[in-house]
Amino acid sequence: MTAPTLADKADAPQAELGRARLRKEDARLITGQTNWTDNIRLSGMLHMAFARSPFAHAKISRVDVSAALKMPGVVAAFAGADFAAEQGSLPCAWPVTADIVIPAHPPMAVDEVRYVGEAVAVVVARDRYAAADAVAAIDVDYEPLPPVLDMRTALEPDAPKVHAEGNKSYEWVFAAGDADAAFSGAPVVLERTYRQQRLIPCAMEPRSVVAQWVDDQVTLWSATQIPHVLRFALSAFFAIPEQNVRVIAPDVGGGFGSKLQVTAEEVLAVLVGRRVGKPVKWTESRTEGNMTVHHGRDQWQRIRIAADRDGRIRGLDVDLLADMGAYLMLVTPGVPLLGAFMFPAIYKMDAYSFKCTGIFTTKMPTDAYRGAGRPEATFAIERIMDELAVELGMEPMELRQRNWIKHEEFPFTTIAGLTYDSGNYEAATARAMELFDYAGLRREQAERSARGDSVRLGLGISTFTEMCGLAPSRVLGSLSYGAGGWESASIRMLPTGKVEVVTGSSAHGQGHETAWSQIVADQLGVPFEDVRVLHGDTQVSPKGMDTYGSRSLAVGGLALAGACDKVIAKARVIAAAMLEASADDLEWLPGRFAVRGDPEASKTIQEIALATFAAHDLPEGVEPSLDSDYTYDPDNFSFPHGTHLCAVEVDTETGFTKIRSYVAVDDVGVVVNPLIVEGQVHGGIAQGIAQALYEEGVYDEAGNLVTTTLADYLVPSAADLPSYQTERTATPANNRLGVKGVGEAGTIASTPAVVNAIIDALRPLGVSDVEMPCTPERVWRAVQDAAQSGGAA
Amino acid sequence: MTHITVTVDGVSYADDVEPRLLLVHYLREVLGKTGTPVGCDTSNCGACTVLLDGESVKSCAVLAVQADGADVTTIEGLAASGRGHSAQANGALHPIQRAFHEEHALQCGYCTPGMIMAAADLLRDNPHPTDEEIRDGLEGNLCRCTGYENIVRAVRRAAEAGVTA
């Protein structure tokens, strides 16, 4: 990819799809005019602050807010019991099995707390300083209970119980093919256990919420990815009639899944605002957020692979333990299932079996985090493929090539039952290998090894695919998910020929205002500048399924195209009357209808829009409007893929890993805006590298989160990350735009590429695994342990 | 309460503030200058970076009273700094702002005000940094969206355009 330039300075009109348009969003973001939720100031607005549990597990015997009430500026203070009658339980929308245990989850704890940071009381005061002061005056008596911190021992009979129902939430199984036949008698069977550490999403914008009641109607501003789902949830689970709820997601500063949630604080802002009769605001501190924004990953993965001596995979068997944390939140139990279908990845095999046990611990609940299930699956399969290659004495890429689905075999139904519509793993890999200079690096690796260089070179491969674009509603239904997977779009043709596009997707950094303008400009033949995209307010965009799972383009983008079709169909009838021609004789040219054989006789879409405004001469019975709505429900997931290659230099004396080069060739189908796509890939890779090298949410033996700040939880800086070389291949997806999702691909791909590279560097020393994050200390210890056990070559 | 006089983006303000009030909260909640966001509470993320008498500071790590008598430039005033207020009113951009736009160096944009202000300070100290110097110079500013690749490109582009602001 050449560096993005001012491609949009081109004078000649051209198709918008594929054009590196600079973003419409930027003007406000680079000048400080952004409308973050925490910027909102309403007349009479009060501030909330929460008293939170310092214990991982305890009975609450008494909450006394009386001293807090006497503090200056304090208007009200409440304990959980004060809302017991109305606060209900935070929803879990994904009961993955019929017998799943879904414990009650009151937004504010009443009798018992089950993780450090759980809210127990709330103060409402004139400003945030006064509210924080008053929280310190709240007196809570706790009777500590034993914490449950290790999911591997949580199911033992004498383990303390997180909930009366026990520590097991569910067990979900899947099997296809004959596993016994695949494994028994297989010449090679490998078993490995991998750890997916707990991650903290750390979107740069902390969560923030403002609730304002007027009469019986509430407006909730929230830093959320899901204004529509949130509105539905407030209505369905908290008894506020849906027509009285308006949710606004103003500018939202990143999410990565962490703002795909119905949170305690959102619900409590609504309830507290109603109780005090004034607008209320709450904005979390980073410390509070690290404790109480849902976490990601946290799995133990036992994976077995059976293969023939020539490398052909016979079967795969996966057994997961997944830490749910203390409660099931919106899609907590479903996250591992999104990975369940992806362990077989791009490979053909005869049998696959999968089991996941969801376990309660006294920690913050886990839920969707960039990739949600697929990074975990991709990591495990790509790691064990490298181990299998070593076992077979084969180049790791050759092993992959022997097993992957060939480009001529698409569409291909995998052993997990997914039908991959498109792909070309050969093309992406060939290009990546060329850019990376794989052969040259292998030579250098051998040279350095031969001269006993203490800094070892390692090469890591990740040939990945993923399922995104969530999703066909019927498939979500078959997995017991609580909602559909469609997306909605509306086109409003304004009288002056300008266009308003209303989308149900809810961007929080993805650039929908730009990309959606490009799609609509192409479909309707109108200038890019004439299109304005509206989103993120249920009063403006009443219908939507919001943004997560790399679904916005693959579902919402196609909804736009469908809405444009309806605009054009309506315009055809009116154009025919204006041109005194038969509608059948009209030809749709970009932006106008012309009479076939008489291109001079034409009406532009703008002229037709104006004609509907006057509506003086429309044909009998024709609606005077071009406005159109369309709801698109995809018939399949989206399957982007790619080949990522990473070269690391590992200092065996210090354990320090430096990424020397990183090549990513992604295939995300037809690209709407290469600038935006490249940015998504960069950021995705960075987040995956962060899991491999830096980040881990750590609880101590008492259940305290010790990584509460960005000094302890190591979100990498520019100095910690390499430059990435990115390119693309483009195998069109099987949809009318040919597009696939891209938001999570980089994160899914990069983690195993980095760890495979580290192990490749250290394998001659006898190291075959390092648990993530591969910190200098862990790498150094792995080298020392290998040397002591005589593993060094 | 302590009386302070502060010039922010070319406008002089006089206020009585609590001694513990952070500069960033003074900017956001007293002056209503919400262009400077808050990303953490331990001075690690850099989202709240502003220029205090020309030097970049994290405004969550400075008390408002410490800014008494000082000249503060925020993202809202950067384009106009040194060139009069009409620049901002006309929608003119500082070269670093323009470079961030042109190199797609932002996605959600939450870190962007601080990142741009830190870059301004970096380029003032070192008008022609190497990529490594850019990365090291921005180490105190975290971005979760871009992977930093395009931020480095943007600062390089601004440097090539001769920014010394």
Flag if B20 and A206 touch (Cβ within 8 Å).
no
| pLDDT for B89 | 57
CA distance A308 to A230: 50
How far is it between the farthest Cα atoms of chain A?
Answer: 91
Residues B101 and B105: their CA atoms lie apart, in Å, by 6
In this structure, are strands A208-214 and A313-325 parallel, antiparallel, or unpaired? unpaired
| pLDDT one-digit tens code per residue, A382-433 | 999 999 999 999 999 999 999 999 999 999 999 999 999 999 999 999 999 9
Provide the pLDDT for residue A793.
45
Q: Is A2's pLDDT higher than 50?
A: no
Contact A717 B142 (CB under 8 A): yes
Q: Indicate whether A544 belongs to any domain.
A: yes
Main-chain dihedrals φ then ψ at residue B156, nearest 5 degrees = -60, -45
Size of interface A-B (CB pairs under 8 A): 192
Q: Residue B108: which of A27, A508, A709 has the nearest Cβ?
A: A508
DSSP H helical ranges for A489-604: 512-524, 558-579
**Mean residue pLDDT across chain A:** 96
H or E element: which one contains A598?
strand A598-604
pLDDT tens string A3-41: 333 333 333 356 999 999 999 999 999 999 999 999 999
Q: Is A144 helix (H, G, I), strand (E, B) or coil?
A: strand
Mean pLDDT of A700-725: 98
Average pLDDT of span A680-694:
98
Backbone torsions φ then ψ of A299, nearest 5 degrees: -140, 150
**How far is CA A93 from each of CA A260, A328, A445, A474, B47, rounded to the nearest angstrom?**
12, 9, 50, 16, 34
Whether residue B18 has pLDDT greater than 50: yes
Q: Is A710 in Cβ contact with B145 (below 8 Å)?
A: no
Dmax over Cα atoms in chain B, in whole Å? 47
Domain membership of residue A527 (yes or no) is yes
Predicted ipTM?
0.96
Nearest-angstrom CA–CA distance, A458 and A440: 12
Q: How confident is the model at residue B84 (pLDDT cuts 50, 70, 90)?
A: low
| Cβ-defined contact of B28 to A22 (cutoff 8 Å) | no
Q: Which residues of chain B lie closer than 8 angstroms to A32, CB-CB?
A: 33-36, 74-76, 113
Per-residue pLDDT at B162: 84
Q: How confident is the model at residue B94 (pLDDT cuts 50, 70, 90)?
A: very high
How many degrees, rounded to 5, is the angle at CA A77 between CA A73 and CA A81? 180
Beta carbons of A717 and B140 less than 8 Å apart:
yes
Domain containing residue A554:
486-632
Which of A3, A5, A29 lies at the smallest CB-CB distance from B106? A29
Question: A715–B139: do the CB atoms touch at under 8 Å?
Answer: no
Amino acid A590: pLDDT: 85
User: Of B17, B24, B148, which to mutate for an interface test with A (greatest number of A Cβ within 10 Å)?
Assistant: B148
Residue B115 near residue B46, CB atoms below 8 Å: yes
The nearest alpha carbon in chain B to A713 belongs to B44
Contact B76 A206 (CB under 8 A): no
Which B residues 128-147 touch A at CB under 8 Å? 131, 134-136, 138-147
Output the pLDDT for position A6: 37
Render pLDDT for A298-322 as a digit per residue (tens, 0 to 9).
999 999 999 999 999 999 999 999 9
Tokens representing residue B36 in the block: 């400077």
Instruction: Assess whether pLDDT exceeds 60 at residue A246.
Output: yes
Which residue of B34, B103, B139 is in closest CB contact with A718? B139
Interface contact flag, A286 B28, Cβ < 8 Å: no
Q: What is the pTM for the complete model shown?
A: 0.96
B contact test, residue of A21, A30, A695 with most B CBs within 10 A: A30
Instruction: Tell me the nearest-neighbour CA distance from B152 into chain A, angstroms.
Output: 8
Distance in angstroms (rounded) separating the CA atoms of residues A744 and A372: 9
> Does residue B86 carry a pLDDT above 60?
no
Cβ(A748)–Cβ(A464) below 8 Å: yes
Is residue A474 a part of any domain in this protein? Answer: no
Report chain B residues whose CB lies below 8 A from the CB of A202: 144
Q: Is B160 on the interface with A (CB under 8 A)?
A: no
Do residues A325 and A332 make contact, with C-beta atoms less than 8 angstroms apart? yes
d(CA A259, CA B49): 25
- A500: CB partners within 8 A, 6+ apart: A491, A492, A494, A531, A532, A534
Q: Does B146 contact A511 at a Cβ distance shorter than 8 Å?
A: no
Residue B84 CA, chain-centre distance (Å), reads 18
Residue type, A500: E
* CA–CA separation, A486 and A504 (whole Å): 10
Mutation for A interface: B43, B76, B107, B116, most A CBs within 10 A:
B107
Mean pLDDT across A671-675:
98
Residue A118 CA to residue A145 CA, distance in Å, equals 15
DSSP A173-238: EEEES-HHHHHTT-SEEEEEEEEEEEE----SSPPEEEEEEETTEEEEEE--S-HHHHHHHHHHHH
> Chain A within 8 Å of B41 (Cβ-Cβ)?
yes
> What's the pLDDT at B81?
77
For residue B131, list chain A residues with Cβ-Cβ distance below 8 A.
723
Cβ density class A242-252: b for 16+ within 10 Å, e for less: eeebbbbbbbb
Structure tokens at A707: 């990584």
The enclosing H or E element of A675 equals helix A674-693
Integer angstrom CA distances of residue A385 from A341, A409, A439, B89: 17, 22, 20, 59
A4/B34 Cβ within 8 A:
no
In a domain, A511, yes or no: yes
Per the rule left: phi > 0, alpha: psi between -120 and 50, beta: everything else, A185 is left
- The pLDDT value recorded for residue A688 is 98
Does B16 lie at the interface with A, CB-CB under 8 angstroms? no
A171-217 pLDDT, tens digit per residue, is 999 999 999 999 999 999 999 999 999 999 999 999 999 999 999 99
Q: Are strands A280-283 and A46-52 parallel, antiparallel or unpaired?
A: parallel
pLDDT at position B83: 58
**Residue A418 Cα to chain centre, angstroms:** 20
Q: What is the pLDDT of residue A9?
A: 37
Interchain CB distance below 8 Å, B38 and A206: yes
**Segment A599-653, tens digit of pLDDT:** 889 999 999 999 999 999 899 999 999 999 999 999 999 999 999 999 999 999 9
Residue A770 belongs to a domain: no
Q: Which residues from chain A sit within 8 angstroms of residue B140, using beta carbons? A: 717
Q: Which residues of A touch B102 (CB under 8 A)?
A: 4-6, 22
pLDDT at position B80 is: 87
Contact assignment for B42 to A717 by CB distance below 8 Å: no
Contact at CB, B76 and A32, closer than 8 angstroms: yes
Report yes or no on A155 lying in a domain: no
* Domain architecture of chain B: domains with CATH: 2-73 (3.10.20.30), 86-160 (1.10.150.120)
Judged by average pLDDT, the poorest of A501-515, A521-535, A585-599, A689-703 is A585-599
- Residue from B21, B76, B110 to probe the interface with A (highest A Cβ count within 10 Å): B110
How remote is the C-alpha of A166 from its chain's centroid? 30
CB within 8 Å: A38 and B102: no
Nearest CB among A30, A719, A723 relative to B136 is that of A719
Give B143's contacts in chain A (Cβ within 8 Å).
Answer: 204, 718
B35–A33 CB contact, under 8 Å: yes
Q: What percent of chain A lies above the pLDDT cut of 70?
A: 98
- The token pair at B4 is 């302070």
Q: What is the CATH number of the domain that holds A550?
A: 3.30.365.10
Tens of pLDDT along B108-142? Answer: 999 999 999 999 999 999 999 999 999 999 999 99
What is the arithmetic mean of pLDDT over A583-588? Answer: 96
Is residue A510 in a domain? yes
| Cβ neighbours of B20 in A, within 8 Å | 129
Q: Could you say which DSSP state residue A21 is in? A: P
pLDDT in tens, A511-561: 999 999 999 999 999 999 999 999 999 999 999 999 999 999 999 999 999
Interface residue B90 vs chain A (CB under 8 A): no
Query: From the CA of A668, how many Å to the nearest CA of chain B?
Result: 18
Domain count, chain A: 1
Torsion of CA A523, A525, A526, A528, to 10 degrees: 60
How near does any CA of chain B get to the CA of A712, in Å? 10
Residue A782: in which H helix or E strand, if any? Answer: helix A776-788
Closest residue on chain B to A719 (Cα): B135
Average pLDDT score over residue span A260-264 = 98
A296, A255 contact by CB (below 8 A): no
Contact (CB<8Å) A30/B153: no
